[in-house]
C-alpha cells in the first residue's frame, strides 16, 4: 500500500477514548433499567454465557468463495461458474437462534450494546486466520435508514472487531450507500443483485494495492457484499474479503 499509507491512516482511527466517559452514566442506568440477556431475558448480562454457548459455527467444509457448506472441499457450482469482486465470504455463525434473535434485538430494538458480544464473535472467528488486511470497512446504511435507526450496526460490529483484533478500521461515510435500496428479505437472488448493484460509492483516496475486509451483520446471497466489493475494486482495491456475524443457510 506504500504511498497510500498516510492517507489510509487518516481514514482509519476512531476515538476510542471518548467511550469511557459514558461508563459511569451506564452504571446508573443499570440500576433503573437492569440489563437483560437479548437471548433468554435473564437479568444481569447483555447476552448471557448460556446463550453464547449455543452459537453454532458454519458446518465444514465450506465453499472457498461464498462460505456456504459444501459436500466436497473446493468451490460450489455457482462460484465455479462466475467471477466475483469479493474473493471470499465467511461468517462466524449460522443465522439461527440465539444469534438471529440477538441480531434482531441489535438492529430493530435499539440494543446498541449488543455490538460488543456480536463483534466479539467476529473477533473470535478472525483469531488464528492467516489473511492479512490493510483496512476494515463496514457495509454502510443509506442516510435515511441511518437516521431512522440512529446507528449503523455493521460499523459497531467492525469497531469491536478492530479494537479486539487490532485491525485498522475505516471511519464511517467513506464508503457510501448512495441509493436507498429495498429491504431484501422477500427478494430472490437475482432480484437482490439488481436491488443493490451500483448502490455504493467510494468517496476516499485511491485504494491501489490495498486489501480490504468488509464487515456486515448477516450474509444471505452475498449480493450486498458483492456490490460493496464492486465499489472498492473500482477505487483500486486489490482484494476484498468479507466477514459477517451470521450466514443464512436457506433453512
Ligand atoms: Zn441468555
Ligand atoms: Zn460458493
Q: Which ligand has the minimum distance to the alpha carbon of residue 38?
A: 1
Distance 76 CA to ligand 2 centre (A): 4
Question: Ligand 1 is a single-atom ion; what residues have CB below 5 A from it?
Answer: 37, 39-40, 48, 51
For the stretch 100-120, pLDDT in tens is: 999 999 999 999 999 999 999
- Tell how far the Cα of 89 is from the centroid of ligand 1, in angstroms: 28
- For the chain, the 3-state helix, strand and coil shares in percent, each to the nearest 5, are 40, 15, 45
Say how many residues make up the chain.
251
Q: Return d(Cα 182, Cα 162) in angstroms, integer.
A: 29
CA of residue 16 to ligand 1 center, whole Å: 28
Question: Do 149 and 115 meet the contact criterion of CB atoms below 8 Å apart?
Answer: no
Which ligand ends up closest to the CA of 81? 2
Quote the pLDDT of residue 26: 59
Question: What top-level class would CATH report for the domain 2-18+58-247?
Answer: alpha beta
* Per-residue pLDDT at 219 exceeds 80: yes
Q: In what order do the strands lie in the sheet with 211-219?
A: 88-94, 239-247, 211-219, 135-138
Q: How far is the centre of ligand 1, averaged over its atoms, from the C-alpha of 229 (Å)?
A: 35
* Angle made by CA atoms 131, 235, 126, in degrees to the nearest 5: 20
**pLDDT reported for residue 171:** 84
Task: Tell me the CA–centroid distance for residue 173 and ligand 2, in Å.
Answer: 30
> Residue 60 and residue 25: Cα distance in Å, rounded?
44
Q: What crossing angle do the helices spanning 153-165 and 99-108 adopt, rounded to 10°?
A: 120
- pLDDT tens string 30-86: 666 778 999 888 998 999 999 999 999 999 999 999 999 999 999 999 999 999 999
Question: N- to C-terminal Cα distance for the chain?
Answer: 41
Ligand nearest to the CA of 79: 2
- Span from the CA of 150 to the centroid of ligand 1 (angstroms): 25
pLDDT band at 126 (very low <50, low <70, confident <90, very high): very high
CA of 118 to the centre of ligand 1 (A): 13
- Based on the number of CB atoms within 10 Å of its own CB, is 244 exposed (0-12), middle (13-18) or buried (19 or more)? buried
**173 grid coordinates:** 461515510
Tell me which of 189 and 170 has the higher pLDDT.
170
* Ligand nearest to the CA of residue 87, numbered in listed order: 2
CA neighbor of 73 nearest in space, from 82, 81, 83, 62: 62
Cell 483469531 appears where? 127
Cα(61) to centroid of ligand 1, in Å? 29
Amino acid at each position: 500500500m506504500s504511498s497510500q499509507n498516510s492517507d489510509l491512516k487518516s481514514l482509519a482511527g476512531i476515538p476510542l477514548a471518548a467511550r469511557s466517559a459514558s461508563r459511569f452514566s451506564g452504571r446508573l442506568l443499570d440500576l433503573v433499567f437492569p440489563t437483560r440477556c437479548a437471548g433468554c431475558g435473564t437479568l444481569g448480562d447483555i447476552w448471557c454465557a448460556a446463550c453464547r454457548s449455543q452459537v453454532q459455527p458454519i458446518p465444514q467444509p465450506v465453499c472457498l468463495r461464498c462460505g456456504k457448506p459444501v459436500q466436497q472441499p473446493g468451490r460450489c457450482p455457482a462460484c465455479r461458474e462466475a467471477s466475483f469482486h469479493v474473493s471470499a465470504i465467511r461468517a462466524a455463525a449460522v443465522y439461527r437462534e440465539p444469534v438471529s434473535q440477538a441480531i434482531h434485538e441489535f438492529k430493530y430494538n435499539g440494543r446498541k450494546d449488543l455490538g460488543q458480544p456480536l463483534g466479539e464473535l467476529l473477533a473470535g472467528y478472525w483469531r488464528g486466520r492467516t489473511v492479512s488486511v490493510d483496512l476494515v470497512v463496514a457495509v454502510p446504511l443509506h442516510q435515511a435508514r441511518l437516521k431512522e435507526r440512529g446507528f449503523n450496526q455493521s460499523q459497531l460490529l467492525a469497531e469491536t472487531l478492530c479494537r479486539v483484533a487490532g485491525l485498522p478500521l475505516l471511519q464511517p461515510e467513506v464508503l457510501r450507500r448512495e441509493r436507498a435500496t429495498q429491504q431484501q428479505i422477500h427478494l430472490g437472488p437475482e432480484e437482490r443483485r439488481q436491488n443493490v448493484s451500483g448502490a455504493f460509492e467510494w468517496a476516499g483516496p485511491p485504494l491501489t494495492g490495498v486489501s480490504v475486509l468488509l464487515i456486515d451483520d448477516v450474509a444471505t446471497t452475498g449480493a450486498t457484499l458483492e456490490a460493496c466489493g464492486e465499489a472498492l475494486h473500482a477505487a483500486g482495491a486489490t482484494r476484498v474479503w468479507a466477514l459477517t456475524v451470521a450466514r443464512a443457510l436457506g433453512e
